[in-house]
Chains A and B, each alone.
Chain A
Amino acid sequence: MQTLYLTLALFLLLNLGAGMWRVLRGPSAADRMLAAQLFGTTAVAMLLLLAQASGNAALRDVALLFALLAAVTAVAFVRRAWPETEQVTDDDPN
């Protein structure tokens, strides 16, 4: 089971790395914020896996904090930093 936990944690870290591309690419500020939100959820899952793998219960508290605070940055973005006029046109060639 140890191996599985760590493999999955590694897999999620790779996942997170792939999500980084969206932060860099955008195109809109909302996209970047969204990807950061993904990081929070993924980090929670990773911490829970690591907690089970290492038997260190305190890591669940770290995951709890992530889950609680994930919203704060996003709310700060929506309420403060999001410009009223988004200059970027959201056209993705994909």
Chain B
Amino acid sequence: MTPTDYLAATLLVAGALFFLAGTVGLLRFPDVYTRLHALTKADNVGLGLMVTGLALQAESWAVVGKLLLIWWLVLLAGASVSYLIASGALRRGIRPWRR
């Protein structure tokens, strides 16, 4: 294992932990808005860390480009869809959670 490998492994594991955080948020948070918040942020960061880790191991720049494109697409879709769901939920009168 080279230093790059160690760095990549650290990034991958960190990414996986963010995914775990996202899932815990999805299961434990009290309403749809907080769950949206947990999912979109944690998962997109998790995927970003994983993409960075995999990019360090990639065999060519084309692969790095594809990995970044995939991440960007997930960010775009995640951001737009979470906006659509949140505004739709508000319009339908689902009240945000208050302590």
Is A–B contact present in the complex under a CB 8 A cutoff?
Answer: yes
The answer on a CB contact under 8 Å between B70 and A48 is yes
Report Cα–Cα, A18/B66, bound state, in Å: 29
Report Cα–Cα, A75/B78, bound state, in Å: 11
Q: What is the number of residues of chain B that contact chain A, defined by CB distance less than 8 Å?
A: 51
The answer on a CB contact under 8 Å between B23 and A18 is yes
For window 48-67 of B, CB contacts with A under 8 Å fall at 50-51, 54, 57, 63, 66-67
The answer on a CB contact under 8 Å between B57 and A52 is yes
The answer on a CB contact under 8 Å between A31 and B32 is yes
Report Cα–Cα, A37/B30, bound state, in Å: 18
The answer on a CB contact under 8 Å between B26 and A19 is yes
**Could you say which of B1, B13, B84 contacts A75, with CB atoms under 8 Å apart?**
B84
Task: Known A74-B84, A86-B92; judge A37-B39 contact (CB<8 A).
Answer: yes
Q: Which of B69, B88, B93 has the most CB of A within 10 A?
A: B88
A residues with CB within 8 A of B: 1, 4-5, 8, 11-12, 15, 18-19, 21-22, 28, 30-31, 33-35, 37-38, 40-42, 44-45, 48-49, 52, 57, 60, 63-64, 67-68, 70-71, 74-75, 78, 82, 84-86, 90, 92, 94
B residues with CB within 8 A of A: 1, 5, 8-9, 12-13, 15-16, 19-20, 22-23, 26-32, 35-36, 39, 43-44, 46-47, 50-51, 54, 57, 63, 66-67, 69-70, 73-74, 76-78, 80-82, 84-85, 88-89, 92-95
